[in-house]
Structures are given as structure tokens and as C-alpha cells.
Structure 1
Amino acid sequence: MNFTQRILISMFLGILFGIILNISYSIFGFNINFLVEHILYPLGSIFISLLKLMVIPLVFVSLVCGVTSLQSLDALRRISLKTISLYLVTTSLAITIALALAYIISPGDSINISLIRDYSFESQATLSFSSVLINIFPDNPIRAMADGEILQVIIFALLFGFALAISGEKGKKVSHFFTDLNEVIIRMVFIIISIAPIGVFALIARTFAIQGIEVLLPLLSYCISVILALLLQLSLVYGLLLYLSNIGFIKFLKCMREAISFAFSTASSSATIPVTLDAVEKKLHVKKSIASFTIPLGATINMDGTAIMQGVATVFIANVYAIDLVFSDYLMVIITATLASIGTAAVPSAGMIMLAMVLEQVGLPVEGIALVLGVDRLLDMFRTSINILGDSAITCFIAKTEDKY
């Protein structure tokens, strides 16, 4: 039985077990707290903690290796420009698709505003754009690593890799060390991933045990809108990139099965980096010099799924509060959500904080986020799957333009 099959079976059993636990509690009154909070929760949390343990070293070392392997500064500049430009373009298209679809469906028209009483959302102070920009650049790389500030780590890795690339023979010696270190880190990651079926089962089971499926019913139109927008982004935008890369759409999905399963289970783009890299390099045959640069970068700044959620949620909340958005509001959402997605940490549900920024920019009540909190964790799994597929499709396209297959 291969890794994908084990992950899928764990997901299915986790969903089934979680629903059984939820029914046992809600209908029969059984006490499931010990099982959910003292068995499933520790197992899932330990698994996620082990994955997070490797995120910073993996991102830093793989980016340094990616930059130094590009061989020339012209190649580094060219690929960096292509990568960041494509990530911004696909995110802009994602939010546009989300807004258009949500405008047509109007998912919040049938929702009673009194639902807000059932949920709570503690509004946090949102940073200004200038503050977000300043916070991207580290003043202490060690502290950035310790605090898990992945954007700051990326900036430091790019600068460090650039310095190595222009340091001649001395730089090559250090580059060889990082190449060897990268292999060790990858092996460590796959040791941790070998216990993924247990962690996936615990994470999925706890999610469904706590939330059940009834939480989806009042917000069904919202959930459908988000998932439809995600599928449109996958089939239209990524489909076009794959067509231009001479890669079949079905072949691409088959090659990415393990990464999709892992992203869906963990709801973390960063945690999925090693699996995504493995699929892109070994199954889609992209050169490591490209993949090791674009995939870690995309896991942080290419959040198309998050941008789609922000677009649909904005229209949904506007519908619920009976607030009409004008063209300038939609344009502001596109700009803000695109920039906000770059600042969204690649960890579960961080997009909610960025959604608050988007809502404030168009004058919508931030407390409306309470309406979608109940289903955010479930939809986060779908969003993360799209995020990593976007990273991979763009990587394939860049590899095609650079003749790096």
C-alpha cells in the first residue's frame, strides 16, 4: 500500500470516526471529551508540531540551495521576477473569480443575521500596509527563525544565497555544505511524514467530532461558492498554465495526489513543502534548481485559496448585512486581498486575520467574520490543496520557459 492510499484511508476513517463521535455526543449524550481532547488532540498536535519543527530549516536551506544553483545573477533576477509576477497575477485572478461567482450566487441572502449571536470573533488590530511591508524585512535572522516569521526567513535566505552566489570559490564550499544539509533535512522530514497516517486520522477525526456536518447546513451556499471558485481557479487558471507547459491536466493531478492528500489533511502549505517538492521534482521532472526556489516561496506568498475565501466571505458578509458593494469596493478587495495573501502565514486559519484587513478596507463590519468561523477549518483544507497546486503549476510553467525539465 503506497503513501497516498494510506493517507486517503486515514482521512476516510478519520471523517467516519469523527462523525460517529459527534453523533454519539449530540444524540446519545456520550462523553467524548477524554477521547477527543486527551487522545486525538495530542496525537494531531504532536504531528503538526513535528512538521512545524522542520518548516524553517527546510525553507531556509532549500531556498539557499535554489538561489545558489541558478548559476548566474541574470537567471536569479529573471526567475525571481517571473515567479513573483505569476504568483501575484494568479492571486489577482483568484480573487476576481471569487468575487464574480459570489456576486452571481449571492451566498448570504438567505442567512439570518441573528446567527452572529452563536459565534464570537475577537477583532485584532490590523496592520497598515507600510507596517506589513516593514515587517517582511528581518532585523535579527535568529529571532525571525525562532518566532517562525517565515517571510523574514525567506528574505534572509535570498540575501544569503545571493551572497554565496557572488563569493567565488569560498562561496562554493559553503554551497556544497548547504546541498548536503538539504539532503539530511529532507530525510528528517520524510521520517516525520512516515507517521502521517496517524496524525492525519487524529486531526480529521477531532475536526469532525467537534464540528460534525450540521455546521455546514446554514452556510451551505457559502461553502459551495468557495469550493466552486476553487475548482474554477484550478481548471481555468492552472489549466491554462499546464497547457502552456505541455502537461496534461489529469496527469498533473495524478502526480500531485500525495501532495493534495497531505495538504488537505494538514491545512498547511508550509507543512506540505517536502511532499510538494518530491512530486514536482520526481513525478513532473522539474529541475531542482527551479523547484527548490519557487515551491518554498510559493508556500508563503502564493495563497490563491486564501484570496478566494476572502473574496467570497466579503460578498457573503455584505449580503448578510444588506450592504451593497460598488465597483470601487470590488477593486479595493482585489488589491487588498492580493497584498494580504502575501502576508498570510502558511499555517492553518491565519487568513482570518487578513480577512479582517480586507473587510475594514471596504467598510464592512469585522464581527461578520463570526459567521464563517464555524466552517473555516473545513474549508481551509480545500483552500490549502489549491494553494499547493498553484505553486506546482506555476513551477512547471517557469521550468518550461527556462527549459529546466
Structure 2
Amino acid sequence: MSTTPAPAAHRTAVAASRGPVARLFGGFGFQILAALVLGVVLGLVAVTIGPDAAGGPNGLAATLGVIGTSYVTLLKAAVVPLIFTAIVASISNLRRVRNAARLAGQTLLWFAITALIAVTIGIVLGLVIQPGARAGDGLEASEPHTVGTSWNFLVGLIPQNFLGLSISSSLDADTGAVASSVGFNVLQVIVVAFAVGLAALRVGKRAEPFLAFTESLLKVIQRVLWWIIRIAPIGTLGLIGSAVVNYGWGKLANLAWFALAIYIGLVLVLFVVYPILLKSHGLSIRQFFSGAWPAIQLAFVSRSSIGTLPVTERITERNLGVPRAYASFAVPFGSTTKMDGCAAIYPAIAAIFVAQFFNVPLTPLHYVLIAVVSVLGSAATAGTTGATVMLTLTLSTLGLPLEGVGLLLAIDPILDMGRTAVNVAGQALVPTIVAKREGILDEELYNAPRQGLPFADDSADDDLQGDLDAELEAVRAAQSGTSAEDAPAKR
């Protein structure tokens, strides 16, 4: 009698059939690392070549920039339909889960717990390292593009249209050309999706065709996203190469201590706090990082939690074993509100830096306010400019000069790489911990070997199950010394 092996068994057997070289070069993590190294090399080459005759970027630099921005644009283009369909589908799936409200509460609780730990680390590092007192001379301030206030979050909850889309136009004074761009507020998309999903549940059986269509559309979008994910190494090469060309490390000179404090905090959260939380819940640290690393890598080079969302949701569900119904709710929600890097470590250290730079004394109450704003106010960054908004919100709350934001903008892109990587790691960590605590984590999938199919991604898709069965039969046939065609007859 024929039985269909579990996805983990498929991956293990398929991986075993490949040679060590094929497994190495076929691994998605290796491809991303190779793209990172090659991107740095090409970026340094572009810097060495210098600008073109007209003073603009040379051909190599321009090419790297186009590759990087095009890949991020592809990711962002898929975010809106992904969030909408995933949340509507997840709400419909939560009907089958008895403790849906408890899962949501536990998610928010662990968002707050990890944010509190991160902001505490940030405050301690700011006081110990004293980055503001060590700042170099010649810092040039510029005005922040967006100022965060406590109203940003409340106003952002109100959808401007069905999907929170907005169109902005600008006129080039020299050429007279009009440039238009379309943006979206992720928080508004989530609100609309929640409202539609809840309404569909209230309608009942008459909404079944709509829910079935939404789930089918989600499958289609996930397949498109899989294609985008597969070319991530190419996008990574362009993104990191462009970053080397545009930012380099020279701008760190005057803010070296500040940058050092930020990255120490990020490393402590990512490689000390998160592993402790995993170990305390009986989860393998190695398995978590091997499963989440593709998303962490992509977040580092893309500097976008939203742009990385498709990858984060995929690895949380397919590598870490979080149930789809819960992952499709927790990960999109976390991508707008769970930001240990941008909304906890960074504003804490940056606020202390500004206070020290301008010789403004801080009291214990100020440190409490930093923690409160970081834990409760991170949602105000949703759909805006991330860490800059969070920092201006923190400085406004403390009564510190907003000019301090401009001091830090010069090296913000360099810091944003690490911040976003920690954000995304936390967005995968919390659903994993909550699923483990609630007894719904697929631990077999969590502990499965990571070799073989990249992300263990498409192995659970019904349309690929036949291909996997055939490949597994070929492995079994090779081990038994029979042909693949004869294998089914011997079962």
C-alpha cells in the first residue's frame, strides 16, 4: 500500500540523494552569502572606478543600483495583495482554532516583552558607552523628512480608500516633467483586511465563495512570490553593491561610537536574548537560525521589513513549523509593529546620544518614558519611515531637540541594515515561541534538516507533491538497485 511521506521525510531523502557540492551550491543561504561577498567586491570596484565624465555614477554603479532597487520594487509590489489575502484567509482559518483570541493576546504580550528587553539593553549601552559625549566634530544636521507624533498611529488606522493606497506627484522645475508614485499604508491594509475577514465570517455560508476565491488567490500570489524569492541572490548582489557605492564606511568616522553602540545592542538581542528565549522554551537555537537566516539576510541587505515580509512568512511557516493559520496573522502584523531594532534599541541609544550631545540631563523618569514609548509606540512607524519616525516621537516625548535627528541621518542607511535584520528575526521568533507555548508548533518540521529544497518552501504545495513523490521514488530505487519505473510495482 502506498503512503505519502511527510514533507520533512521528503526533504531528508531528496537531500541525501545529492552530493556535498550540489547541496552546498544549491543551498539558498550559500547563494545569498556568495551574492553578499560578490556585491561588496563589485561595489568596491565601482568606488575605485569613480564617477563618469559628467560626474554621475559610472556604469557599474548604475547597474548595481538598478538591480537592487528593481528587486525591492518587486517585493513591495507583492506585499499589498499578500497581506490582504493572507489576513482574510487566516481569519477564516481561525474559525477552526479554539484559542484564536488567546493566540492574539500571547502574540502582543511577547511583542511587548521582547521590546522591553531590547529597549533596556539600548538604555544600558547608551549610559555605558556615552556615544553623545564621544561624538566627533563637524557633524552636519539636516531636517528629518517625517516627524513622528502620537497621532500618527491613530490617524494611520483610518483607511483613505479600500487598500490604503495614495498617489503623490512632483513637478521638476527644470524640465517641467511630472513624476507620480503610488504608495500604501500597510497598517491601513491590515485594518481593511481584518474588517473584510470579520465581515465574511459574520455573513456565514453566503461568504464561502468569496473565502474560497481569497484562498485560491493567496496560493497564486504565493507562487509568484516564490519566483521572486528564487532570484533574491541577484537582488542581494545589487543591493549590497549599491550600498557600498552610496554610503561606504567613511561616514562612520564622526559617529563611530554611536554606530558601535547600536551594533553591539543589535548583536546582543539577536545572538544572546533571542537564543536564551529559544532555549528556555526547549527549542534548538541552531535550527531557528538555520531556518530564519534567509529572511534575516534579505532584511539586512534590503533594509525593509515590509519588503522581506513574503520571505519571513514563508520561512516561519515552512521552516520553523508555525501553523499557516497563525503565521499568516502574526507575521504580517509583526512586520508593522514588531521592531526591536528600529523601535527599541535605536531610539533608546539615539535619544541618549542627543541628550549627551546637547548636554541635556536625563532623569530616571526620562528613561521610563523611553521604555514606554518604545514598547507602545512602535506601531506608529507602520507604513512610514521607520526608525526616523520612532526617534522623532521619542525625542518629542522627552522634550529633546529634534535637530538631533539630523545629526544621525548621514549614517542611517548603514545602521538600518542591522536594525532591519533584528526586526525580521523578532518577527519570526515571537510566532515560533507562541506556537510552542500553545502546543501547535510542528516540531518535526522545526527540527528537520535544512539541506535540500531551498526554504523547504514548495514541498507542502499540492501541485508539487507529485514531483516530490517521483523524486523520492527515484532515491528509493537507487538505494534498492531497481529502476525508477519499476519502483512503484515493488511497493
Q: What is the TM-score normalised by the length of structure 1?
A: 0.91
Are the equivalent residues in 2 in contact too, given 1:268–1:346 (CA < 8 A)? Answer: no
Q: Which residue of 1 aligns with 2:41?
A: 16
Moved more, 15-24 or 293-302: 15-24
1:106 and 2:130 matched:
yes
Q: Distance in 2 between matches of 1:53 and 1:232?
A: 33
* Of 389, 395, 400, the match for 2:431: 395
Partner in structure 2 of residue 141 of structure 1: 162
1:270 is paired with a residue of what secondary structure? helix
How many residues get paired?
Answer: 400
- Which residue of 1 is the match for residue 105 of structure 2? 81
CA offsets per residue over residues 302-345 of structure 1, 9 Å max, x none? 01110211111111222222222111111112222333321213
Over the matched positions of the two proteins, sequence identity in percent amounts to 29
Q: Which residue of 1 aligns with 2:350?
A: 313
Counterpart of 1:289?
A: 325
**Which moved further from structure 2: 87-96 or 166-175?**
166-175
The answer on 1:257 being equivalent to 2:300 is no
Contact 1:36 1:206 in 2 (8 A): no
Aligned AA (1:165): L
Instruction: State yes or no: 1:40 paired with 2:40.
Output: no
Structure 1 letter corresponding to 2:159: P
1:21 partner letter: A
Is the contact between residue 63 and residue 154 of structure 1 (CA under 8 Å) also seen in structure 2? yes
Task: Output the CA distance in 1 between the equivalents of 2:272 and 2:208.
Answer: 42
Partner of 1:324 in structure 2? 361
Does residue 177 in structure 1 map to residue 216 in structure 2?
A: no
What letter is aligned with 1:116?
L
Deviates more, 1:250-259 or 1:83-92: 83-92
Gaps of 5+ in 2: 1-24, 167-181, 442-491
Aligned letter for 1:304?
D
Name 2:153's counterpart in structure 1: 132
Q: Once structures 1 and 2 are overlaid, which stretch shifts more, 205-214 or 191-200?
A: 191-200
Give the Cα separation in 1 of the matches to 2:82 and 2:188: 14
Q: Is the CA contact 2:49–2:58 (under 8 Å) kept in the aligned structure 1?
A: no
Please list the CA deviations of residues 42-87 of structure 1 after superposition, one character each: whole Å capped at 9, or x if unmatched.
2222211111101111111111111211125863322222212221
Within-5 A mapping of 1:342-357: 342-345=379-382, 350-357=386-393
Paired residues of 1:67 and 1:76 also in contact (CA < 8 A): no
Q: What's the secondary structure of 1:71's corresponding residue?
A: helix
Q: In 2, Cα distance between the equivalents of 1:378 and 1:203? A: 12
- 1:219 equivalent in structure 2: 255
**Distance change in 2, residues 1:319/1:16 (3 Å):** farther
Counterpart of 1:150, as a letter, is V
Deviations 1:350-398 (A, max 9, x none): 3213211211221222122232222211221111111111111110111
What residue identity is the alignment partner of 1:126? V
Q: For residues 157-195 of structure 1, what are the alpha-carbon distances to aligned partners after superposition, in whole Å with 9 as ceiling and x for unaligned?
A: 122222223333223332222211111101111222233
Q: Offset of 1:32 from its aligned partner?
A: 6.4
Partner of 1:115: 138
TM superposition shift of 1:293: 0.9
Name the structure 2 match of 1:339: 376
Q: For 1:279 and 1:142, locate their aligned partners in 2 and report how far apart those are by CA, in whole Å.
A: 26
- TM-score w.r.t. length of structure 2: 0.76
Alignment CA distance shift 1:153-1:355 (3 Å): same
CA contact (8 A) 1:303 1:344 kept: no
Secondary structure of the residue that 1:108 maps to in structure 2? Answer: coil
Q: Cα distance, 1:4 vs. partner?
A: 1.8
Q: CA 1:134–1:370 in structure 2 vs 1: closer, same or farther (change >3 Å)?
A: closer
> How far 1:257 moved relative to its partner?
1.7
- Cα deviation, 1:7-50, whole Å, max 9, x if unaligned, reads 21111111222233334439x99966133664222222221111
Paired position in structure 2 for 1:153: 189
Q: Secondary structure at the match of 1:126?
A: coil
Partner of 1:209: 245
1:224-248 deviations in whole A, cap 9, x for unaligned? 2111111222244423432343211
For the residues of structure 2 that align with 1:162 and 1:74, how far apart are their CA atoms? 16
Distance 1:36 1:361 in 2: 45
Structure 1, unaligned stretches of length 5 or more?
none
SS in 1 for 2:132: coil
Give me the whole-angstrom Cα distance separating, in 2, the residues matched to 1:343 and 1:54: 23
In structure 1, distance between residues paired with 2:196 and 2:99? 16
Matches of 1:29 and 1:181, distance apart in 2: 49
The one-letter code matched in structure 1 to 2:58 is F
Distance verdict in 2 for CA 1:29–1:216, change over 3 Å:
farther
- Residue of 249, 274, 277 corresponding to 2:310: 274
Q: Residue 301 of structure 1: which of 337, 344, 347 is its match? A: 337
Residues 1:130 and 1:370: Cα distance change in structure 2 (over 3 Å): closer
1:134 alignment partner AA? V
| Corresponding residue to 2:228 among 184, 192, 195 | 192
Give, in whole Å, the separation in 2 of the partners of 1:39 and 1:70: 45
Q: CA deviation at 1:99?
A: 0.8
Aligned 8 A contact 1:203 1:265 in 2: yes
Does the CA-based 8 Å contact 2:184-2:383 persist in structure 1?
A: no
Whole-angstrom CA distance in 2 between matches of 1:3 and 1:63: 27
CA contact (8 A) 2:163 2:188 kept: no
